Every structure is written in structure tokens, then in C-alpha cells.
Amino acid sequence: MNEGLANSLVGTSIAHDSAAKHVSGSAAYIDDLPEPRALLHGYIFTSPHAHARITALDVEAVKAQPGVAAVLTARDIPGVNDVGPSLPGDPIFADGLVEYCGQSIFAVAANSIVAARKAAMKAMITYEMLTPMLSIDAALAAQSFVLPTRTMQRGDPAAALAASPHRVTGRIEVGGQEHFYLEGQIAMAIPGEDGDMLVHSSTQHPTEVQHLVARALKLPDHSVICETRRMGGAFGGKESQASLIAAVAALLAQKTGRPVKLRLDRDDDIAITGKRHDFRIDYDVGFDATGRILGVDFILASRCGMSPDLSAAINDRAMFHSDNAYFLENVRIVSHRCKTNTVSNTAFRGFGGPQGMMGIEAVMDDIARHLHLDPLAVRRRNFYGKRSRNITPYHQVVEDNVITELVGELARGSGYAARRRAVAAFNRENPWIKRGIALTPVKFGISFTFTQMNQAGALVHVYTDGSVQLNHGGTEMGQGLYVKVAQIVAQVFGIVLDRVKITATTTAKVPNTSPTAASSGTDLNGKAAEAAAITIRRRLAAVAAELFGVPPADIRFEDGQVVGGEKSLPFVDVVRAAYRGRVQLSATGFYRTPKLEYDAANFRGRPFFYFAYGAAVSEVEVDTLTGEYRLQRVDILHDVGKSLNPAIDLGQIEGGFVQGMGWLTSEELWWDATGKLRTHSPSTYKIPTIGDVPNAFHVALWTRGRNHEATVHRSKAVGEPPLMLGISVFHALKDAVAACGDGSVLPQVDAPATPERVLMAIERQRLGNARATLEAAQ
């Protein structure tokens, strides 16, 4: 890429670094890499039962099949049989007990995937069936939890509720979500000398893959390298879930001494790997006649599946976002983390935050309908203040609140008030087709709430031809992290972008990294890479200062030149001078997020460095005879601070919105009564298509955006927050449902709001109308 003047790279819309390769099919994903000689293909045999004891497991017949090189079971693992990311509970191979349908039991390596799969079917396994626990209700009744229940409380919610002039209780069920990254899970393990292992893994967390593979193989961390050039999408689904695939590939490679590729096909991928947690949220809210909340009580219960995985932090984040953008003076949030015999749910863009927000947004909607107010007026009435009413339920002061002005600007720009009137007029005229409109805000906390993870490293080399090689701990999953960080580094040196070579993320270059998650990729790695580049620039400035006879502080790096006073030299000349002068041209960089101080045990302090804000207005049309609907228009205003790359940021916002909309509309996970997930491929699991996106899709970056914290170039994280803009579609649908009633029944819609749920909610509205008519007649 040549575009972008060297000294104005940051803030410029530059294409994704791999865009030309993407469109010509030359961007290599792991399955596209040249295959090493003697490559074997792995296959994981999974449990057909949700809960059963394995009373016998005989794989001798599998071993005897043609083309089979190795078969591994739990007892064949030299190291630890667990790939739990922080807490144990995720066996690589089930050891006597299967706890979900789809759980890995053993693996085969063979000459081809067909041979491996065929052979695996020859295993003799006997199960003793156990009763599966499948639902949140069942788990709550049995007090079956993967982690202890936690409570966050501020003020006196019980007293506030008791004293409130208005009070509403309700429940919303929020479904899970399959990541549906287009590239399925994959790893290729290549054994080296001394038992070393190189693992190409499609992972957001190479360091964790390295550590867990080493532990399974009984090797020190230094003997395993994990490399990730790019993923074909991840969305949280390759944060902890890639480890199993990498570990199985590496174990098979270790056993056979041959390279092994393990690629899950789509059905296996969806069955084996975790998804977004589904939640059941009960609420009890007291408020005044203006809609202002006086006290609120939330009981969150999530289905974590069979193991803790990342559920502690995910459920914490749901609690942290049960306020969304609203001040809750008297609040209690209880969080149950249910253990069920279903796949262990995991990270997914927003990481519990979206589910937490769904609770408070349901509350806002109920208050508005109860008081016959515009839901937007109620939302505004409860927004955080700037100098007062600005403390979160976990006692962090909201210092950067822009929600009132951002929502004001969006409401004006999108013509919200006039359109609400137009919707009402349309609905008066139309008995069968109804319209709905909703504006919902997003405030999302940025930082890993597990404070130690807020660190990053980078490695920058400058070669004597003036070209630069960049490496950092962040991974590229399509979000444009690599190009953003390259822009930052190129700008430090004042050189054009194509002088900076972006290289694959590898644990051999930058160790002990955090996952590329929590929207933190650019904040952390951009800063680390900038620090490394600044270290080298400082050394170069000293060299140039001596050459030019000016103080180092007067040296500038711009347009490929190093300038000092009246003199200048091309960047490469200064680099060569530095080399001759025996000045080091390589540096590491490191960053730790400042200001974080958080007492996790008591939910008290500052878990977040800052907040990202946004808002969306969606308008829908609903067919009240079938429940089908169409999004007609959406307007989004989102705060990315000072954008590093507006095109990339817009892409994150648009894509996040549509993914959030999918979660709450057509994406439905459906398990049968035995605990088998029956929506395990795109023929049954429906993510949005092009037809779900309206032409009127207006997305703008908030021009006044600027991070008030000293993040890299004052930008803000953008990966996750836009997903929650999709909540506006859900509430627009609810608004249309409400339009079918006379206001006597609160509209009740669970997520995802499939046409079926929408129609059933409409039927309840109509029943309410009929009842009211009947009562009036009596």
C-alpha cells in the first residue's frame, strides 16, 4: 500500500493490509499453507450423549484401519489432560465421563481426513446414561453452578423499591449465539528436533495455546512455538476454544513424529466449541412518574455449560453492564453461573456485556410503556450525569460521559421525533403491517477486568535498507489491527506504510501476551509497538543530531526524511549511519494500561480505563400475520475517539451492528430434548445475509470524539461496543409489537426475536385487547 502521506498516516482510511490478497485468494489461512511432507490429518471423535459415564472405550479396531497412524485417548496424554483457560474443567479427551454432546473422546491421525473419520467409527464405546441437566431452570433448581453466585450492590435497593411510587417486575430470556467465523477451527502441528513443536493455530491467544500445548505435551513453554498469521474471523470464538484443536494436533504430532493438521468441519466445529452464553434475567424496578429509576434489582442466570472456561469474567462483565448508560443509585445485581450438560459457553464479542445491557434496556422499555412515555425520554431521564449521578454500581466514576450529547446529535440527525410520529400515523392506518422505532445507547467499559491482562509487548526491527519489520502480541482476525499498528509505527518513523512489514504473531518473538480480545488489540499493541518504535527513533535522533549538529530534540522524522534545522537526510541514510556507529536498530516495546485499580473480590474500584459510547436508531416493519419483519432503516453515531483509520472503524461498527442484530433476531440455537444441538450448520443456523441490511444504513463516527485518556493517538477501542447497537433492532421490533395492543399488556419478547416469537408476542397483545374489550363490555 502506498497511499497516505508518511506523516499523516494515523487517521487515514487505509485499506486492510491483506485486502488485495483477500480479493485474489492469495491470503493464506492455515488450511492453505503448503503441506509438509508426510502430513497426517486429525479427526476428533465426539460424544453422542450429553451426560454419560464411559464404561468401556476400545480403540483397537480404529488403530487397525487402513491409513491410521495414531489413536489417542485420555490415558495417552503425557502431560495434563485439560485445556481450561484459567480454571480446569475442559478435558482434551473425556476421561470416563462425558458432560456434553460433542465432547471430545479420542482422536485419530490418518493419511486423509476421510480415512481418519472412517476409522474413528470403528471404536467400541459403551456408555452408562446419566440424566442431562440442560436448562437454566433445571440448573437453578438443582443449584448446579460452575462458579459461585456473585452479588454486586450499591445503595439500598430493597428500601428504594419498597418506597417507589411505580414498580414493575419482569423477565427476559436472551439466547446464545454461535460465532460462525467463516474459517472453522484449525491447527497444524509440526514436530521439530528435541521434541519441540511448532503449532500454526487459528487463535486469538497464541500464548495460551503455547502454554496449554506445552502442558499437555509435558514440555517447557520454550519448546513450543505458536504462530498465527491471520484468522478467517474469530469474534471471541478462538480465544479459549482454539486450544483444544491445537492440543489434539500437537499430541498426534508428538505421538507420530509427523506433522498433523486438524481442521474441524462446520458441523463438528459448532458442536464441539462454545458459544455466547444464554441468559435469563429477572428484574424488579421502582421508578417515579417521570420514569427515573429509584431502585432496581437484577437476577442474572447464565448457562455456562459443562465447565468454567471464561465464565467468571463473562458473567462479571454482564454485571458491569447491567447499568449500560444509566445511573442506578440503588441497585443489586445477582449473578448465577449455571452448570449444564451443554457445550461450555465462551467469549463472544461483548463478553457478557450485551446480555447485561439487554436486562436494563428491557427495564427502560417496560417503564416507558407502563407510564405511556416515549422510551427514548425514559432512557434520557436515566442517563449518567457528568458531575453528579456519575458513579457506577462498582464505584467507578464515569469521567468521560458523552452519552447525552451523542444521543442528542443522533436523535436530531436521524429525525427521531418526526419519525416516531410518522410511525404512529402509519400504525393507525395499517391493521396488518406495523412499524416500530427505537433508539438505544451503548456505554461499554474498556479494559480486561482481570487487571493483569492489560499488558502488551512488541518487537520492531529496522534493517540497514531502511525497511522495518513489526511484530506484536496482537492477532489479526479481520479487524484491521495489523494495519492500524503499522500506521502507528510508520508514523513514528515518518516513513510510508509499505516500508513497514507486518509479520505473523508468534510466541517466539513476543512472549507472554494477552489474547486479542476485550476490544483491546489496538490500545495495547499499538502502544507497545509505538514504544518500541520510539525507542529506536530516539537512538536514530541522537545519531542525526550528531550528524546535523543540532540537539536531538530538534530532530523530526517526516516524509521519509530525518530533518534537523536546515539539514535533512533520507531515513535510510540515518539508519546506515546508526549501523556504522554500532547503534542498536531493534527494540522491544511494552505497555501496561495505567490507572486501573480494582478490588475484584468486592466489585469496587476502577476496572475500566475508559468507556466507549455509541447509539443507534432502528426502524422496522412487521407482518402481524406471520411475525416476519424487515429492518427499514438504521442510523448510528459511534464514538471511536480520534479514529486511527476511519474506514476500518466504520467496518467494525457496521459489522458489529449486523452481528448484534443477528444475535437478537434470526440466530437461534436449538437443542433437542436429549441435549443435542440441532442448529449446527448454516442451513439451520441463520446469520444475517445481505438481504437483512437496509439501504438506509447510515453510520457515522462521532466527529467530536476524542479519548480523554492518553490512549494511542487518543483513539478508542471499537471491536466490541458496536455489537450492542443491534439492541435497537430488538426494541424497534418490540415497539411494533406494542403497536398491536392497546397498552394494557406490556409487550413481552424474548431474544432472539424470531418471526415466531414476534408473532406470539403480537398474539398476546391481541388477547390483551380482546380482554380489555370484554371487561369494558361487562
Whether residue 202 contacts residue 228, with contact meaning beta carbons closer than 8 Å, is answered with yes
The residues in 531-590 that bind other proteins, with binding defined as CB under 8 A, are none
Q: Which of residues 110-139 bind other proteins (CB under 8 A)?
A: 114, 117-118
Count the residues in the chain: 778
User: Which of 361, 619, 667, 720 is an active site residue?
Assistant: 720
Provide the minimum distance between the beta carbon of 620 and other proteins in the complex, in angstroms, as a whole number.
9
Per CB under 8 A, contacts with other proteins among 181-200 are 181-184
The reply to whether 521 sits near other proteins by the rule CB under 8 A is no
Is the separation of the CB atoms in 353 and 720 below 8 Å?
Answer: yes
- Residue 731 CB, nearest approach to other proteins (Å): 19
Give residue 493's Cα distance to chain centre: 32
Helix residue ranges per DSSP H, 283-347 = 311-320
Region 595-624 residues binding other proteins, contact defined as CB under 8 A: 621-623
CA distance 621 to 61: 58
- For other proteins, the closer of residues 415 and 431 by Cβ is 431
Contacts (CB under 8 A) with other proteins, residues 289-328 = none
Three-state DSSP class for residue 328: coil
Q: Which residues pair with 336 in a beta bridge?
A: 301
- Gap between the Cα atoms of 112 and 38, Å rounded: 11
Query: Between vectors from CA 101 to CA 95 and to CA 106, what angle results, nearest 5°?
Result: 40
Please tell me whether residue 20 binds other proteins under the rule CB under 8 A: yes
Out of 61, 377, 696, 767, name the contact with other proteins by CB under 8 A: 696
527: left (phi over 0), alpha (psi -120 to 50) or beta: alpha
Indicate which single residue of 116, 531, 544, 699 sits in contact with other proteins (rule: CB under 8 A): 699
Q: Smallest distance, Å, CB 22 to other proteins?
A: 3
Ranges of H-type helices in 641-692: 646-664
Q: At what angle do helices 206-217 and 242-256 cross, to 10 degrees?
A: 40
* Shortest distance (Å) from residue 332 CB to other proteins: 35
> Which of residues 43 and 383 has its CB atom nearest to other proteins in the complex?
43
Amino acid of residue 310:
L
The pairing of beta strand 604-606 with beta strand 597-599: antiparallel
Which residue type occupies 540? L
Nearer to other proteins, 291 or 627 (CB): 627
Residues 144-183 that bind other proteins (CB under 8 A): 179-183
Q: Which stretch binds other proteins (CB under 8 A): 289-297, 426-434, 462-470, 488-496?
A: 426-434
Stretch that binds other proteins, among 415-423, 442-450, 679-687, 770-778 (CB under 8 A): 679-687
**Taking a C-beta distance cutoff of 8 angstroms, is the pair 65, 143 a contact?**
no
Q: Which stretch binds other proteins (CB under 8 A): 15-23, 187-195, 413-421, 530-538?
A: 15-23
Closest by CA to 464, choosing from 577, 583, 575, is 575
Q: What angle do CA 387, 393, 397 make, to 5 degrees?
A: 30
Shortest distance, position 301 Cβ to other proteins, whole Å: 23
- What part of residues 221-260 is at the interface with other proteins (CB under 8 A)? 230-235
* Least distance CB 117 / other proteins (angstroms): 7
Asked if 651 interacts with other proteins (CB under 8 A), we say yes
For position 383 contacting other proteins by CB under 8 A, the verdict is no
Q: Does 479 bind other proteins (CB under 8 A)?
A: yes
Q: Is 265 in the site for other proteins (CB under 8 A)?
A: yes
Cα torsion 372, 377, 383, 389: sign: negative
Which is nearer to other proteins, 530 or 619 (by Cβ)?
A: 619
Count of beta carbons in the 10 Å neighbourhood of residue 439: 25
Q: For residue 775, indicate whether it is catalytic.
A: no
> Could you give the strand order of the β-sheet that contains 52-58, starting from the edge strand earlier in sequence?
97-98, 52-58, 124-129
Q: Where does this chain touch other proteins (CB under 8 A) — which range of 155-163, 392-400, 537-545, 627-635?
A: 627-635
Closest contact distance (angstroms) between CB of 21 and other proteins is: 7
Which of residues 759, 761, 764, 768 is near other proteins by CB under 8 A?
759
Q: Does 744 bind other proteins (CB under 8 A)?
A: no
- CB of 530 within 8 A of CB of 456? no
Give the residue numbers marked as catalytic: 720
